[in-house]
Copies of this chain bind each other. A is one copy, B any other.
């Protein structure tokens, strides 16, 4: 049985994927703005030998439902939302092996500055950083950044390609491995002959500069991506080391995984250098009956309106513009096109009421509910049938959801040889790919620059 990677899927906010859970008396997600919230979570995840904490992020607020941010603000749907990078250093200080995959946006963050932020994190964590590359999908973000509207969906990936071409140079090429000498006697910290500027003169950006940071343990952070459209998957096949996919059905995910591994090979890379993780929402307890009770209890706090506000933004669809039972026809959307396709596919007679009726625990993901054994069986089926390499566990009632997962499910996965009982030495990249090295494998396009 292959060993898999477990990630907590979280966000520096109150309501992430399962809307309304903050209302539960045992939920502590409104403590997101304290350091102690994050350091205790990090310790917990490392005790459970999680590969890492995946921190989602979004710029802008969800203002598609009713053409207003009111529902998102009212139900704390990913707003308020603090910066995800700034909780990592404190978590790194209280852990040794846990990885941190952090989301940053190629449409809005300046590459020269983001390169320094991620290099700094890679230094401070001893090489435990991943970067989830996103291109954004909210017009509200574009307006807040001084643009009239965001670029069209596929153009955003073209921008991202140029962005990566520049940032790869900063990370992989600007400072040679032997640039830093620290020769105290000769007063030479670094050899200028071994340091050169990164340059791009592209369609979308033209810039040049020496990277501000000396080489960090991984240089380029482990590259995460979640593109589900065909353009997104092409981008992922070119760049990503870890891809996150939605749990539609095992056959559908199996096909996605096959396609991704083939696309990676076609891009000239090694298929084994790609991990595919699937999202999962788990409610577990000592027995199946207790888990079902717990799930029912959680469901009482779910926010359907909050979930609708979230879905409206993700799908680019204002449900409020339709009566509850009106069929929802063609939608022209600048948001995540693949999400809308998936929603239609899941529900052929697509109406607002039908959509709401399918929500579970304030979200669109079908939860896995049961004892440790039951959940472990289900997860194992995903691994064997869909060939996924691990899971991103969304949070429900926090931190109880992660505590119960680590208490009930993790030991069984460990007995079955699926889950690590310790960490491989080295960087996050080496923990995820134990046969590899701290740096990107040579077949990755970023490495071609170093030849």
Contact = CB atoms under 8 A, between A and B. Distances in A.
A117 interface: yes
Interface stretch (A46-54, A67-75, A377-385): A67-75
Given A83-B116, A207-B143, A207-B145, A33 B90 contact: no
Contacts of A223: none
Interface in A208-224: 208-210, 212-214, 216
A73 B192 contact: yes
Interface residues of A, number: 80
A352 to B, nearest CB: 19
B207 A146 contact: yes
A210 B74 CA distance: 13
Nearest to A116: B83
Interface of A: 12, 14-15, 20, 22-23, 25, 30, 33-35, 39, 59-61, 68-71, 73-76, 79-83, 85-90, 92-94, 108-110, 112-113, 116-117, 119-121, 123-125, 140-141, 143-146, 180, 182, 184-185, 187-192, 195, 205-210, 212-214, 216, 303, 305-306
Given A23-B187, A35-B92, A81 B207 contact: no
A80 B144 CA distance: 32
Nearest to A24: B184
A189 B86 contact: no
A189 B22 contact: yes
Contacts of A110: 108, 110, 145-146
B82 A213 contact: yes
A298 to B, nearest CB: 14
